């Protein structure tokens, strides 16, 4: 079994889900008392959030690479970034550490294609929705078209993530707002919804909407567990 290097704490609520799902998947596959070999570096998300919103992405990139390299030195065989947004640095981490990064968008794309879906909507932080690093992977590597919410909906999605979900606050009114946004995206032709922030699955479940929902936390975690056993 390979040792998984986890870059976590972004936020710790979703990192907790990563740890749980990875270990459950290893146990499901191997049985008995098996669990994953893993090492986690957990960031202080307050610091990460401040740097994100002040646009200090170079500092963030250097810190992500530095901590990924520390995971390598500690014995990690590959890297899992336990958040969607910070996959903006996935290629940099691979290049600088020499370790494979299990990309969350690649893992999600495989799940999308299993359902023969060609067009999805992407929900996440504004950095993820408005950037190209995620949509480019879906389009260029997998041929999947991606649409994003309208401006005001992107603002509200982002606000709920940072003011509620990363703080562990689950609000029924916010759930209804997300469902309304998803329904509008479905009316624009989205065949599925990518929950492209690892906190969103804390709020939105498949039973909340009529079209397929892709829980990137679960998909990514299970992909990491399977890769550890290859």
- Burial level of 230, CB count in 10 A (0-12/13-18/19+)? exposed
Output the tens digit of pLDDT for each of the chain's 230 residues: 999 999 999 989 889 999 999 999 999 999 999 999 999 999 999 999 999 999 999 999 999 999 999 999 999 999 999 999 999 999 999 999 999 999 999 999 999 999 999 999 999 999 999 999 899 999 999 999 999 999 999 999 999 999 999 898 999 999 999 999 999 999 999 999 999 998 899 899 999 999 999 999 999 999 999 999 99
From the list 101, 112, 89, the residue with the least C-alpha distance to 194 is 112
pLDDT of residue 166: 87
From the list 135, 177, 187, the residue with the least C-alpha distance to 157 is 177
pLDDT of residue 31: 97
pLDDT of residue 165: 92
Beta bridge partners of 147: 121
Please check whether residue 211 is in contact with residue 186, taking contact to mean a CB–CB distance below 8 angstroms. yes
> How many residues make up the chain in this entry?
230
Catalytic option among 82, 108, 146, 197 = 197
- Alpha-carbon distance 212 to 66, whole Å? 37
- Alpha-carbon distance 89 to 208, whole Å? 32
Catalytic option among 82, 83, 108, 217 = 83
- Alpha-carbon distance 61 to 55, whole Å? 12
- Alpha-carbon distance 196 to 198, whole Å? 6
Q: Which two tokens stand for residue 148?
A: 């994003």
Known catalytic membership, residue 128: no
Please check whether residue 175 is in contact with residue 204, taking contact to mean a CB–CB distance below 8 angstroms. yes
Beta bridge partners of 146: 120
From the list 171, 213, 164, 172, the residue with the least C-alpha distance to 192 is 213
């Amino acid at each position: 079994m390979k040792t998984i290097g986890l870059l976590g704490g972004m936020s710790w609520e979703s990192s907790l889900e990563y740890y749980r799902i990875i270990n459950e998947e290893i146990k499901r596959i191997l049985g008995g008392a098996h669990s994953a070999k893993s090492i986690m570096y957990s960031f202080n998300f307050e610091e990460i959030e401040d740097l994100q919103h002040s646009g200090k992405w170079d500092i963030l990139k250097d810190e992500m690479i530095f901590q990924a390299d520390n995971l390598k030195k500690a014995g990690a065989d590959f890297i899992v970034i336990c958040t969607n947004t910070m996959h903006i640095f996935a290629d940099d981490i691979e290049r600088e550490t020499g370790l494979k990064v299990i990309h969350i968008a690649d893992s999600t794309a495989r799940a999308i294609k299993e359902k023969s879906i060609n067009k999805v909507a992407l929900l996440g932080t504004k950095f993820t929705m408005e950037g190209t690093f995620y949509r480019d992977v879906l389009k260029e590597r997998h041929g999947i078209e991606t649409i994003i919410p309208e401006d005001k909906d992107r603002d509200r999605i982002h606000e709920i993530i940072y003011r509620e979900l990363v703080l562990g606050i689950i609000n029924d009114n916010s759930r209804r707002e997300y469902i309304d946004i998803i329904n509008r995206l479905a009316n624009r032709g989205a065949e599925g919804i990518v929950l492209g922030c690892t906190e969103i699955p804390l709020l939105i479940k498949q039973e909340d909407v009529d079209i397929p929902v892709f829980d990137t936390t679960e998909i990514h975690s299970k992909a990491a567990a399977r890769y550890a056993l290859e």
